[in-house]
Amino acid sequence: MNANGQLSILAPTRYPWSFNGPRKSRHVINRRSFIPFNKLTNKLEGITILNAPPWERRDLIHAFNRIPLNSGPFIIGFESHLPRGFGLETTAYFNWLRGMLADSRCKRIIAISELARRTFIHFHQGHSAFERLISKLEVRYPNVALPPLRPLENSAEKNLPIRIFFVGNHFARKGGCVAVRVAEMALQKGLPVEVTIASTLELGAATWTDPLRPEFFDPYLKLLDLPNVVFHRGLANDRVHKLLAESDFLLLTTFSDTFGYSAVEALANGTPVIGTRGGALPEFLDGETNSILLDLETAELGDWRYSASTERDTPKFEKLFADEVERLARETYAALEKIAADKGTLPRLRAGARRTAETIFNPDAASDYWDSLYEEVAAKRPAVSAT
């Protein structure tokens, strides 16, 4: 703690921490890059070292997903599995990672959703360290910056195209195939719908949900050339935010997601979401006041039931995936037809979307929470030198 009573907090860079730390803090947050050991091997995804200079002093490390090997006390947030050791849960290495979480150096373990909390309990229940781990566990939803709302024309009321925005580098996993099929259906049936796609088109083996044969996706990729589809092969973050604000819906008919930060950003812009009942999405998308929610057959921990299938290279799995895309596209299109016919639905959903962001994901409330937590766990501890 410095002479002004401020704590020095070491935290990682990159996108997820911005949602899971204070937007404004009365303390000093030093965000540093970290060593991505998972680039060497996925087995090391659960640990990291933050690149803090040796002369920098700190009171606490606020980590996310990866356990910091730097010295000193830490708190750690996580989005799905902690520690991150996928498929290694019965190994001595995983038990070493678990031991670091159970150790007194780890002060709090913060799940970003109830789903993450249940996943944590699932993988540690029955272990001798379980009670120590659970005593540190709590849930805190992410937070989001709340931009000024732009006045938007009511697309349905003025017979303008209903503007759908899809963003996701994992094109098929996130729902891109659904998005282009909706565009095709709308074109065939004369419903004014415009679909904007922002994606680097990572497909197949790059994910854990897709069919593996590259040619499977050709019919969907051809639909990117439809006259009512606008395709961007990746976009800067400020352009994504602009498109979110200008769209009537974000489409996130995802087969597998831990939380869906794009959905949170959409809500902050007053943009309702068309999503699936998977991952943590049903915890904040209710399907009535802020979104359209489509059913998805899920396993115990929220993923699509057929995620990580060993049959992804088979015609049987390809048909299963294609049928699911078609079902989700038909249900999305039917919902859009109703919205086009009922002029009051879209304004109501927009208002509900923003209200959800202001209540569940409020950045001021989050900043108060994090600052209070920092003070609780670190204020009386001496600062340590970085390693």
Average pLDDT over residues 68-89: 94
Q: Could you give the percent of the chain with pLDDT greater than 70?
A: 95
CATH superfamily of 162-360: Glycogen Phosphorylase B; (3.40.50.2000)
pLDDT value of residue 360: 97
Residue 170 DSSP class: B
Q: pLDDT by residue (tens digit) across 255-267?
A: 999 898 999 999 9
pLDDT computed for residue 130 by the predictor: 97
Q: Which residues pair with 229 in a beta bridge?
A: 195
Q: What is the pLDDT of residue 385?
A: 46
Q: Is pLDDT above 70 for 112?
A: yes
Report the pLDDT value the prediction gives residue 154, as an integer from 0 to 100. 56
pLDDT digits (tens, 9 = 90+) for 324-362: 999 999 999 999 999 999 989 999 999 999 999 999 999
Q: What is the pLDDT of residue 354?
A: 96
Determine the average pLDDT of the residues in 369-377. 96
Residue 256 to residue 271: CA distance in whole angstroms = 21
Both tokens of 264, joined, read: 């949170």
Q: Residue range 293-302: average pLDDT? A: 91
The HSE-up count of residue 198 (CA atoms within 13 Å, CB side) is: 20
With 0-12 CB in 10 A as exposed, 13-18 as middle and 19+ as buried, what is 156?
buried
Predicted local distance difference test score (pLDDT) of residue 159: 61
CB 165 within 8 Å of CB 244:
yes
Q: What is the pLDDT of residue 387?
A: 43
Average confidence (pLDDT) over 74-95: 94
Residue 216 has pLDDT above 60, yes or no: yes
> For residue 383, is pLDDT > 60?
no
Three-state secondary-structure class, residue 365: helix
Reported as a single tens digit per residue, the pLDDT across 14-36 is 889 999 999 999 999 999 999 98
**Residue ranges per domain, the chain?**
8-143+362-381, 162-360
Task: List the strands of the sheet with 137-139, edge to edge.
Answer: 28-32, 8-12, 60-64, 74-78, 106-111, 137-139
HSE of 73, CA atoms in CB hemisphere, 13 A? 20
d(CA 125, CA 357): 33
CA 92 to chain centre: 30
- Output the pTM of the full model: 0.91
pLDDT (0 to 100) of residue 305? 94
Q: What angle do CA 362, 47, 126 make, to 5 degrees?
A: 85
Tokens in use for 377? 């766990």
Take residue 242 and report the two structure tokens written for it: 């602009």
Task: Check residue 53 and give its pLDDT.
Answer: 86
What are residue 66's phi and psi, to 5 degrees?
A: -105, 130
Task: Decide: 81 and 64 in contact? Cβ < 8 Å.
Answer: no
The predicted pLDDT at position 42 comes to 84
| Per-residue model confidence (pLDDT) at position 381 | 58
CB burial of residue 237 (10 Å; 0-12, 13-18, 19+): exposed
Please state whether 342 falls in left (phi above 0), alpha (psi between -120 and 50) or beta.
beta
Between 238 and 183, the more confident residue is 183
Average pLDDT, the chain: 93
